[in-house]
Amino acid sequence: MNCVIFGAPGSGKGTQAAALCEAFQMVHVSTGDMLREAVRNGTELGKKAQALMADGKLVPDELVGGIVREKILNLVGQGKGILFDGYPRNLDQAKFLDACLTEAGSQIDAVAVLDLDPAVLVKRICGRRLCTKPGCTGAFNIHFMPSKQEGVCDLCGSPLQQRKDDNEETLKERLAVYNSQSLPSLEYYDQKDLLIRVNADDKVESVRAALLGGIRAKCGCNKGCCA
């Protein structure tokens, strides 16, 4: 099974992606993961990407596309399913992804979208407080999951801080980019009857159950991946 997951910053995409991969035995891949792996493996495309990143330049779509194609052919060749996260970002990439999967003898089975009201996103992002101690995973939210003592990590007692980019102005910019880039892709997948929309303003377990149920219904295969 191959799926794509979409979600704005703060929608819980990372948490749900991990659960989907475990449930359907998919490999979680993102643009960043693929770039880093290509660089680490020293492929020709990886070397080109590394040179650009070393100069502080963005890696162009055509180069990212080449790395995506390499990854798809490798994983599908091993009989593995893929959960795409952060790719495709636009309609051209969505069409290119379809072409790569077709070349590999595969296809996208479902596209999951985590919908969340912008006001809730603001609270989720701007309310985050992270532990300042290196290695500590303490993460809290002043609105939904506050620490027992304000400004102090429950796990280690170190101070909590708000990330500089966790502010409403930056979030609005990120949301505008996400919406403008993702909308054409979502319309494309909707026309293919692959889209699953889930309300992400609920308990993690409830969102997960809705995603799992929706994907099983879309896939409906007899390969065992939907069991």
Sign of CA dihedral 23, 26, 31, 36: positive
pLDDT at 30 over 50: yes
Does 138 lie in the same domain as 177? no
Residues annotated as catalytic are 13, 89, 128, 163, 174
- 46-92, pLDDT tens digit by residue? 888 788 777 767 677 788 888 889 899 999 999 999 999 989 989 99
Does 144 lie in the same domain as 37? no
Does 40 lie in the same domain as 142? no
Q: Give φ, ψ of 194 to 5 degrees.
A: -110, -10
Sheet holding 2-7, edge to edge: 26-30, 81-85, 2-7, 110-115, 195-199
Q: Is 211 domain-assigned?
A: yes
Q: What is the mean pLDDT of the chain?
A: 90
Total count of domains within the chain = 2
221 pLDDT band (50/70/90 cuts)?
A: low
Q: Is 225 domain-assigned?
A: no
Does 193 lie in the same domain as 143? no
96 pLDDT band (50/70/90 cuts)?
A: very high
What's the CATH code of the domain at 23?
3.40.50.300
The reported pLDDT for the residue numbered 219 is 80
Q: Is 120 domain-assigned?
A: yes
Q: Is 224 domain-assigned?
A: no
Does 180 lie in the same domain as 113? yes
pLDDT at 145 over 50: yes
Q: Is 81 domain-assigned?
A: yes
- Distance in angstroms (rounded) separating the CA atoms of residues 176 and 186: 15
Does 214 lie in the same domain as 140? no
Percent of the chain with pLDDT over 70: 95
- Distance in angstroms (rounded) separating the CA atoms of residues 102 and 17: 23
Does 31 lie in the same domain as 76? yes
Does 180 lie in the same domain as 122? yes
Does 151 lie in the same domain as 178? no
pLDDT at 123 over 80: yes
Q: Which domain holds residue 178?
A: 2-127+169-219
Last residue of a domain, one of 118, 141, 161: 161
Q: Is 79 domain-assigned?
A: yes
Does 195 lie in the same domain as 90? yes
Does 149 lie in the same domain as 79? no
Q: Is 227 domain-assigned?
A: no
- Distance in angstroms (rounded) separating the CA atoms of residues 76 and 78: 5
pLDDT at 110 over 60: yes
Q: Is 51 domain-assigned?
A: yes
Task: For the chain, count helices (H), then strands (E).
Answer: 8, 8
- 186-217, pLDDT tens digit by residue? 999 999 999 999 999 999 999 999 999 999 99
222 pLDDT band (50/70/90 cuts)?
A: very low
Does 175 lie in the same domain as 154? no
